Amino acid sequence: MSDHPTVVFGLDGAHFELLDPWIEAGHLPNIDRALDTGVSADLKSVLPPVTSPNWKAYATGKNPGKIGIFWWENIDVENQRVHYPSDRKHANTEFWELIAEDKPVGVLGVPTTYPPKEIDEFLIAGPPDGKNAGYAHPPELESRLDEKFDYRVRKHNRLDGDREAAAEEILELIDSRFTVAETLREEYDISFLQVTTFYINSLQHYLWDDEYTLRGWQIIDEHLGRYLNAEYNVVLMSDHGSNPIRTAFHINSWLETNGYLKTNTDVADTFYRLGINKDRLIQMTNKFGLTEFAKHVTPRKVLQYLPDNSGAVNKEGKTDAVDWEETNAIASGQGPIYLTAKHGTDEYNRIRNQLQAELESVSDPDGHPVTDAVYKGEEVYSGSYVDEAPDLVIDQAKGVHIPGGIGREAVFTKPTDDGWHAENKRQGLFVASGPDFTTGTHDPMSILDLAPTLLHLHDRPVPTDMDGTVQQSVFATDSKLANRDVKRANVSERDRERARIRAIARDVDL
């Protein structure tokens, strides 16, 4: 076991593509120092390269086929619905729970951890699925954070609305994450601290290399400097990377144009013609402080039918916008595609092979491919939920954004002033600096490798159902960590059943 506490900086959407010019210009001296004194690598996310499921993949060391969450929505073709299985978020043990069996642990800001599990010493859930109430364990910690720090999990302003107000709010939220984490680390004498900032990725999505994005990174850099010494092992990691958008490929519009998808968006179209959309409603309720009131008085069904400001229907609203009987394929954003034909039949194989070949040959209006590859689901996923997994998964090409909404006529569009200017990519970052780590550049790693590697750092057994591998070569060459055998922990059927029962008992509904 390492004698040094570990601090993990979770940086949603971070990659060297954006940071390198700022590092070279001297704007991020502490990140530069961590690179010079530590080991760095590209970190490959699971497909699709999105906050959900990648933070769950990081925390559990498992691919989405074992977690049962494949994007911010799952498409259940058998029951003809689009939904998010929130109950599965807590069905698997996260690696910091295993560290907490031996040493005090604190976790703050990680997406997909709401509502918080019970953990010693604390867990504070993160956005975007977290809420500004019921976010902390132990529960009494929440009132302390509210009173002392005016702590918020989620921001109020939108970057596609009052951009300046939203950006300033994000900078405050980023700073508060690290300030609170440091305060609680000292108070609880934490051995393992995970502090994550989600909203830096929001700045990148909407503003890319804008001055506000740089300011966000400088706040992170300043806090990082407090840990770069002989006392701490410090890890920087991201769930995926980011890159500027060249073109948006509206996958469901393409599927409909090519006869794979049949929709019925009459209700959403009527709302849109009347100037009523979900984005405008959110902006108005935020402006007048009525967001929670609007959620309570507006029927959920109505909210689902509302289109966004482009006229597209998203997530659960897609359930009633699809003519399921006449549809062969429907997609989520950023890559997953589901077929309605019965698995294993000649029709299923014919449609899947045909669709895979066609998508691999699609180019945007400028002649650039929209995919790097199109995989069959079983090539990407394994585990007990593989039967629910997407049938095809796009690995989107550099500079391509793939929205998942239904109802847009255009197949290709360019970035707009009030929309996204950067999209996720599969290459994230890993940097580790401290007394137990080596130096230099490391071969690319998988995000699934981090849970077992951090367990090994803390001398904890690695569960046999984790998909990742302990990367002993990131540790100092002459250290015990680099040379001792990896401890293994068998995962029994009883343990899996107990986890399943806990998830059902929780019955989470976000």
Q: What is the pLDDT of residues 379-397, one digit of tens each?
A: 999 999 999 999 999 999 9
| Predicted TM-score of the model (pTM) | 0.90
pLDDT at 3: 83
φ and ψ at residue 472, rounded to 5 degrees? -65, -20
Q: Give the pLDDT mean for 68-88.
A: 97
pLDDT at 375: 98
Q: Is the pLDDT of residue 282 over 90?
A: no
pLDDT at 508: 44
pLDDT, one tens digit per residue, over 91-122 is 999 999 999 999 999 999 999 999 999 999 99
Per the CB < 8 A criterion, the answer to whether 429 and 34 are in contact is no
pLDDT at 276: 46
φ and ψ at residue 265, rounded to 5 degrees? -110, 30
Q: Which CATH superfamily is domain 6-244+423-506 in?
A: Alkaline Phosphatase, subunit A (3.40.720.10)
Q: Give the pLDDT mean for 451-469.
A: 97
| Residues 140-147: contacts with CB under 8 Å, at least 24 apart | 145/180
Per the CB < 8 A criterion, the answer to whether 236 and 33 are in contact is no
Higher pLDDT, 410 or 269: 410
pLDDT, one tens digit per residue, over 8-44 is 999 999 999 999 999 999 999 999 999 999 999 999 9
Distance of CA 57 to the CA centre of its chain: 9
The whole-chain average pLDDT of the chain stands at 90
Q: Is the pLDDT of residue 188 over 90?
A: yes
Per the CB < 8 A criterion, the answer to whether 23 and 247 are in contact is no
Per the CB < 8 A criterion, the answer to whether 412 and 232 are in contact is no
Q: Give the pLDDT mean for 295-305.
A: 51
pLDDT at 304: 55
With 0-12 CB in 10 A as exposed, 13-18 as middle and 19+ as buried, what is 307? buried
Q: In the numeric block, which tokens belong to residue 122?
A: 């604390």
Q: Give the pLDDT mean for 194-222.
A: 98
Confidence band of 302 (pLDDT split at 50, 70, 90): low
pLDDT, one tens digit per residue, over 340-355 is 999 999 999 999 999 9
Confidence band of 292 (pLDDT split at 50, 70, 90): low
Q: Hey, which residues does 338 pair with through a beta bridge?
A: 330
φ and ψ at residue 278, rounded to 5 degrees? -65, -40
pLDDT, one tens digit per residue, over 407-434 is 888 999 999 877 999 999 999 999 999 9
Where in the sequence of the chain do the CATH 3.40.720.10 domains occur? Answer: 6-244+423-506
| Distance in angstroms (rounded) separating the CA atoms of residues 399 and 421 | 10
Q: Is the pLDDT of residue 440 over 70?
A: yes
High-pLDDT (> 90) share of the chain, % = 82
Q: Give the pLDDT mean for 318-343.
A: 96
Q: In the numeric block, which tokens belong to residue 112?
A: 């997909």
SS3 letters for 172-191? HHHHHHHHHHHHHHHHHCCC
Q: Give the pLDDT mean for 148-157.
A: 94
Q: Give the pLDDT mean for 131-150.
A: 96
High-pLDDT (> 70) share of the chain, % = 87
From 182-186, 237-241, 300-304, 319-323, the region with the lowest mean pLDDT:
300-304
Per the CB < 8 A criterion, the answer to whether 151 and 134 are in contact is no
Q: Is the pLDDT of residue 298 over 90?
A: no
